[in-house]
Amino acid sequence: MQQLLGRTGRDLVVEETRAEITQTRQRLIQNKNVDVTLDALAQRIEARVASALAMSLQPVFNLTGTTLHTNLGRAPLAEEAIEAMSAVARGATNLEFDLDKGRRGDRDDHVEDWLCRLTGAEAATVVNNNAAAVLLMLNTLANRREVPVSRGELIEIGGAFRIPEIMRRAGCRLVEVGTTNRTHLKDFTEALSPKTGTLMKVHTSNYVVQGFTAEVSDEDLSALAHQHDIPYIVDLGAGSLIDMAALGLPHETTVTETLAKGADLVSFSGDKLLGGPQAGLIAGRADLVAKIKKNPMKRALRVDKVTMAALAATLRLYAQPETLQAKLPTLRLLTRPVAEIQAMAERLRPALQAAMGDAAQVEISPCTGQIGSGSLPVESLDSVALSIRPNTHGKGGRSKSGGKGRGTGGALKRLATAFRGLPIPVLGRISDDSLHFDLRCLEDEAAWLGQLTDLRVQ
Ligand SMILES: *Cc1c(COP(=O)(O)O)cnc(C)c1O
């Protein structure tokens, strides 16, 4: 106890001691079995203090098959980005200080040139995420004005990002145009009024409208907007900076292409296909970017020095296309050859089977994963999984609903819980009576193997 007080603050120990005593008293009142020796109490208090101090935000193994998993923090960062972050984290930096001129600078200066080079834009700015970028573009260009958007593009992205909602919060009046499956240029022409602030296209990231469909091209929308002296803006979502098809991945419209087709501003995420930190990037016309920078909301949505450093370092990797795929984890993982994943599965299977004993059967199975973050939703990535199928030894049948049952469902839940309880929690996917670990995103094999001895299946 004395040692504990020495290691941690007095207040924390006192607080946890009180909580433990309260709980112990309650258990005694309820006639529950509880060890009240001093040693046992001290041990429980120590455990409480340790748990209060443990970091809740921690690394995990993402073996879900979704490479850019929003709930798991999206893009893994490049070593270069991590180094840049720690280089600026500890002390003062020239975040908003121009070292040449010796006076106040703009934090966007650290990435704007590179964003322009990589997209062909005249100017660019950075905010907290793409949702913030969309909010800021709309509020700057169309506050108290109308914004026509195709009914086929009124999207909801995971969480609370819904275009109609964002529009309202940005102070804009959404004018719905066309139908869910077909929208034509004349629909937009008819929707235009003196109150129109901007035309907008939203990339339908996480779904596709298939079949009898029609949408208006970027070229036609930008031409129409420019005839009426209003801007044309695009929420591109994933916003790739390079041609994914050249890497053997499905084609995704690039920022450069969208600007070349006449968009005045394009917004996209930093932590989707770009492979950088969470950020929202806006690239396009210099006069419009200048307006955005003057909007007081920009101040509320800006990014800090650590994000700026990571983004600046990530963008520089794009300057060397020859090494980009090897250095940028997002691209490295997305383009990982299936044969390589298969070989890893073969290396890891025996150890996993040994850890399972006769509780489960471990098999290597082909599987399909996803890019994630709404990118290219219909395209899947061929991959290989280690699949664990619990042996139920005839104890009751299958329980589809899972729960506490003794069937496969219950056993699968206990398995998944055990893997989540490891020092570096391992997250997989349950389907077809098995727990699958898609190995596409496993790079540190040794760390993964090393902790299998800690596995405790209840
Ligand atoms: C992902 C996405 C967003 C939200 O971007 P965040 O960076 O998550 O804020 C907005 N619009 C589209 C089209 C998207 O795909």
Question: Which residue, among 158, 121, 63, 163, has the nearest Cα to 375 in the 3D structure?
Answer: 158
Could you tell me if 284 and 166 lie in one domain?
A: yes
Please give the number of the atom of ligand 1 that sits closest to the Cα of 203: 13
- The pLDDT of residue 140 is 98
CATH number at residue 119: 3.40.640.10
Amino acid at residue number 418: A
Tell me the per-residue pLDDT of 260-288, one tens digit each, with 9 for 90 and over. Answer: 999 999 999 999 999 999 999 999 999 99
Domain end marker among 327, 347, 373: 327
Could you tell me if 167 and 246 lie in one domain?
A: yes
Q: Whose CA is nearest to atom 7 of ligand 1?
A: 130
For the beta carbon of residue 182, count every other beta carbon within 10 angstroms. Answer: 15
- The pLDDT of residue 458 is 75
- The pLDDT of residue 233 is 98
Does the pLDDT value for residue 395 go beyond 90? no
Could you tell me if 364 and 449 lie in one domain?
A: yes
Question: For 88-102, 322-336, 337-351, 404-418, which range has the lowest pLDDT when averaged over its residues?
Answer: 404-418
- The pLDDT of residue 378 is 66
Does the pLDDT value for residue 185 go beyond 80? yes
Kindly give the distance from the C-alpha atom of residue 409 to the centroid of ligand 1, in angstroms, as a whole number. Answer: 35
Could you tell me if 249 and 298 lie in one domain?
A: yes
- The pLDDT of residue 3 is 77
Report the percentage of the chain scoring pLDDT > 90. 84
CATH number at residue 438: 3.90.1150.110
Mean pLDDT, range 14-25, rounded to an integer: 96
Could you tell me if 345 and 279 lie in one domain?
A: no
N residues, the chain? 458
Could you tell me if 184 and 135 lie in one domain?
A: yes
Mean pLDDT, range 424-446, rounded to an integer: 97
Domain end marker among 258, 293, 327: 327
- The pLDDT of residue 438 is 98
- Measured between alpha carbons, how far is residue 361 from residues 290, 343, 346, 392 in Å? 61, 19, 14, 10
Mean pLDDT, range 408-430, rounded to an integer: 95
Report the percentage of the chain scoring pLDDT > 70. 95
Tell me the per-residue pLDDT of 291-314, one tens digit each, with 9 for 90 and over. Answer: 999 999 999 999 999 999 999 999
- Measured between alpha carbons, how far is residue 50 from residues 18, 55, 56, 229, 353 in Å? 15, 10, 12, 62, 32
Could you tell me if 104 and 233 lie in one domain?
A: yes
Domain end marker among 297, 327, 357: 327
Could you tell me if 199 and 306 lie in one domain?
A: yes
Query: For residues 180 and 141, which has the higher predicted lDDT (pLDDT)?
Result: 141
Q: Which of 68, 137, 235 to mutate to test the pocket of ligand 1 (most atoms within 8 A of CB)?
A: 235
Residue ranges lining ligand 1, Cβ < 6 Å:
129-131, 134, 157, 161, 202-203, 205, 235, 237-238, 269, 280, 373-374
Backbone φ, ψ for residue 415 (5° rounding): -60, -50
Range of the structural domain that residue 431 is part of:
61-71+333-454
The model's confidence at residue 375, banded by pLDDT at 50, 70 and 90, is low
Could you tell me if 297 and 150 lie in one domain?
A: yes
3-state secondary structure the chain: CHHHHHHCCHHHHHHHHHHHHHHHHHHHHCCCCCCCCHHHHHHHHHHHHHHHHCCCCCCCEECCCEEECHHHCCCCCCHHHHHHHHHHHCCCCCCCEECCCCEECCCCHHHHHHHHHHHCCCEEEEECCHHHHHHHHHHHHHCCCEEEEEHHHCCEECCCEEHHHHHHHCCCEEEEECCCCECCHHHHHHHCCCCECCEEEECCCCCCCCCCCECCCHHHHHHHHHHCCCCEEEEEECCECCCHHHHCCCCCCEHHHHHHCCCCEEEEECCCCCCCCCCEEEEECHHHHHHHHHCHHHHHHCCCHHHHHHHHHHHHHCCCHHHHHHHCHHHHHHCCCHHHHHHHHHHHHHHHHHHHCCCEEEEEEEEEEEEECCECCCCCEEEEEEEEEECCCCCCCCCCCCCCCCCHHHHHHHHHHHHHCCCCCEECEEECCEEEEEHHHCCCHHHHHHHHHHCCCC
Please give the number of the atom of ligand 1 that sits closest to the Cα of 202: 13
Q: Whose CA is nearest to atom 6 of ligand 1?
A: 130
The model's confidence at residue 396, banded by pLDDT at 50, 70 and 90, is very low
Mean pLDDT of the chain: 93
Q: How many domains does the chain have?
A: 3
- The pLDDT of residue 206 is 72
Could you tell me if 13 and 130 lie in one domain?
A: no
Report pTM. Answer: 0.92
Torsion of CA 366, 372, 378, 382, to 10 degrees: -20
- Token reading at 361: 């059967």
Q: Which of 269, 273, 371, 375 to mutate to test the pocket of ligand 1 (most atoms within 8 A of CB)?
A: 269
Could you tell me if 315 and 345 lie in one domain?
A: no
Could you tell me if 417 and 273 lie in one domain?
A: no
- Token reading at 208: 């596709």
Question: Which residue, among 339, 359, 364, has the nearest Cα to 349 in the 3D structure?
Answer: 364
- Token reading at 152: 């086929």
Does the pLDDT value for residue 45 go beyond 70? yes
- The pLDDT of residue 25 is 96
Q: Which residues contact 247 (CB under 8 A, 6 or more apart)?
A: 325, 331, 334, 335
Q: Which residues contact 169 (CB under 8 A, 6 or more apart)?
A: 135
Q: Which residues contact 379 (CB under 8 A, 6 or more apart)?
A: 249, 250, 370, 371
Does the pLDDT value for residue 349 go beyond 70? yes
